A = this chain, B = another copy of it.
Amino acid sequence: MIGFRPEIQALGGYTPGEQPQAGKFIKLNTNESPYPPSPRVIRAVQQAAESGLSRYPDPMGNAFRYRAAEVLGVEPDWILCGNGSDDILTIVTRAFVGNGQLLRLPYPSYVLYKTLAQIQGAWSEEISWNEDWTLSAAFYADSPQLRLVFLPNPNSPSGTLVSHQAIGDLASRLTCPLLVDEAYADFATSNCLDLVRQNERIFVSRTFSKSYALAGLRFGFLVGQPHAIAKLAKVKDSYNCDALSIAGATAAIDDQAWLRDNVAKIIATRQRLMAGLDALGFASVPSHANFIWTRHPKRPSAALYDQLKQNRVLVRYMNYSKWGDGLRISVGTDEQIDACLALLQSMV
C-alpha cells in the first residue's frame, strides 16, 4: 500500500447530501435556494466567459472585495475570497491548528469541521449543545491546547441562533481564534459582523451557496482583521477563485434587492412549513435558517425519509449518536413545501 498518512487512511470523509444527477426530485436536502440567482449574475458570468479565460484571475479577487466592502461596511482588506466557504474553513484550519493540537466544535453541527481537524492530524473536541440548543458552559472553557473554535450560527441541523452577546462573551473568554460560520446568517435576525472590529480573534465566514442561490458557483468569503487576512492569504492556493466566480459573486452581492426579496420569500415559506409540521404533530425547532429540523414523536424519521424519497421528495435524514435522529427539511418554494407536507400527512 502506498504511503498515505495514517490520519488519511482512517478518514471517513465527509459525505455530502445526495445530488441526484438525473430524474425529477423535489430537492429539500442540501439547503440550496429554490429560486434562481439574480439575472445580473448570469450576465456577469457570461460576459466574463467571453472577455477572456486565458489569463489567470486576480489572486485576491479585488473586484469582489471592493464591492462587498461597501455592502458590508468594512474595508476591502478585511475580506478574503474563497472557493466556497469550505475553502475558507480549510484555510483557517490549516493556518491555526497544528498536528496534535485541538479544535472545538458544537455537537451536532457541520461534520466537515471534524474532518478538517483529522486531515491536519489534530484533535477535535465536540461539545454537545444544551438540550435547548444553547451553548453549554463547557464550550466557553479556555484550554492551552485549544487553537480554533468553530461556531456555525445559525447552526445546522437545528437552525438555531446563538445570540450576539453570547458570542462576544465566548470570544472574550477564549484565547484562540473563533470562526463564526454564518452560512445561513441572511435568514437570521442578527449576525456577528460588527464583532470582528471589536476582537481580532473573531472571524466571520459567509457563503453564496444558500441565500444567493449560487451553490454551483463555489464562492464564499471570510471577514477578519487585515493583518490576519494577509497571513491567511498566504495559506490559500494562489488562484483559489476563478474569473467566472469572482465576476458572478461581485454581481450577486451588488444586487441586494434581489437578495432581500428571496430571503423574504424563504422566511415566509419557512413559517408555512413550520405551521404545517406543527399541525401534523411534528416537534420542530424554530429556525433562523433556510431549513427546519424536525421529528415526529410516533413515526421513525428514517422511515419517513425513505417514504418521501420513494415519492421523489428528498430531505436529509441525520442520525447523531448520543443525540438522536431527525429530518432536516430545506425550505423550498410554497408549492414544494405543500407537496412535502401533503406526503407527510399521508404518513403520520
Interface residues of A, Cβ cutoff 8 Å to B: 2-5, 7-9, 11-14, 16-17, 19, 21, 27, 30, 32-37, 41-42, 45-46, 48-50, 52-59, 62, 83-84, 86-87, 90, 94-100, 112, 119, 121, 147-148, 175-177, 200-201, 209, 213-218, 228, 231, 233-235, 237-245, 248
Contacts and interface: CB of A to CB of B under 8 A. Distances in A.
Given A11-B234, A244-B245, A5 B98 contact: yes
Given A95-B5, A121-B98, A231-B8, A57 B216 contact: yes
Contacts of A200: 2
A175 to B, nearest CB: 8
Nearest to A175: B3
Given A83-B83, A98-B121, A209-B56, A217 B239 contact: no
Contacts of A148: 3
B238 A54 contact: no
A82 to B, nearest CB: 9
19 contacts: A2-B176, A2-B177, A4-B95, A8-B95, A13-B234, A14-B234, A17-B56, A32-B56, A36-B52, A41-B49, A42-B49, A45-B49, A46-B46, A49-B49, A54-B216, A94-B119, A119-B235, A216-B244, A218-B241
User: Which one of A37, A55, A96, A209 has the greatest number of beta carbons of chain B within 10 Å?
Assistant: A55
Given A2-B177, A12-B234, 10 more contacts: A8-B96, A13-B234, A16-B238, A19-B55, A41-B53, A54-B213, A87-B240, A98-B121, A216-B244, A218-B242
The 7 residue pairs across chains A and B that have the minimum distance between CB atoms = A13-B234, A216-B243, A99-B99, A53-B216, A218-B242, A54-B213, A45-B49
A248 B53 contact: yes
Contact of A238 (B34, B48, B100, B112): B112
A78 to B, nearest CB: 14
B5 A84 contact: no
Nearest to A47: B46
A52 B216 contact: yes
Contacts of A58: 19, 21
User: Which one of A21, A32, A34, A98 has the greatest number of beta carbons of chain B within 10 Å?
Assistant: A98
Nearest to A95: B8
A56 B4 contact: no
B239 A147 contact: no
A49 B16 CA distance: 22
Contacts of A12: 234
A56 B245 contact: no
A68 B220 CA distance: 29
Nearest to A199: B2
Contacts of A237: 83-84, 86-87, 90
A102 to B, nearest CB: 12
A131 B337 CA distance: 69
